[in-house]
Amino acid sequence: MWLVAGLGNPGDDYEDTRHNAGFMVVDILSSRFRIPLRKKSGNYLSGKGFMEGQGVVLIKPLTFMNRSGLALWEVVSRYEGIEDILVVHDDLDLEPGVVRIRKSGSSGGHNGVQSVIDRLGSQDFIRVKVGIGRPEREPAERYVLRRFTRQERPVMEEAIERAADAVVEIITRGVASAQNRFH
């Protein structure tokens, strides 16, 4: 079974912000595959179902970005049979709208991904990164918590859809196939 975690921050104040790209992708997958997300514990929303015949658990941590690993650890501990973990998150170092897939590796400075690495004790999980660009004159901490501009919105909506497609491709055909198709 697959665990697909979209990273983000809970609450209305953070809805549709750059840092919530992972949440947006999970919302699309939840809708597409009719996997409703419900609160199963205090630390995440989750839904269990199937994508193209593959068992999957979708989650959105409610721990805020920098503590995302706690929610993933709880899910891995709770659900038997999770064999593959896929984390979807924003990436400052990619241009807005770019989607990249990595099989494993460091956090690249992303605190949410670092939290997952720390809690799981491993860097061996797949990442789908959604580029949000790096600000020129604004601190990154503030920039990631802003909503997309009117000019950015169409590019980012397309990128979020492509990232959801990439998740499905990874689950059904593998990482290499997804990298060839989406890079």
For residue 68, the 8-state DSSP code is: H
Instruction: Measure Cα distances from 10 to 34, 43, 167 in Å.
Output: 21, 10, 22
CA distance 114 to 118: 6
As a whole number of angstroms, the distance between CA 137 and CA 132 comes to: 15
Residue from 19, 89, 110, 183 carrying the catalytic annotation: 19
Is 19 among the residues known to form the active site? yes
- For the record, the structure tokens of 122 come out as 């491993």
Amino acid at 77: S
Question: Rounded CA gap, 119 and 115, in Å?
Answer: 6
Task: Please identify every residue annotated as catalytic.
Answer: 19
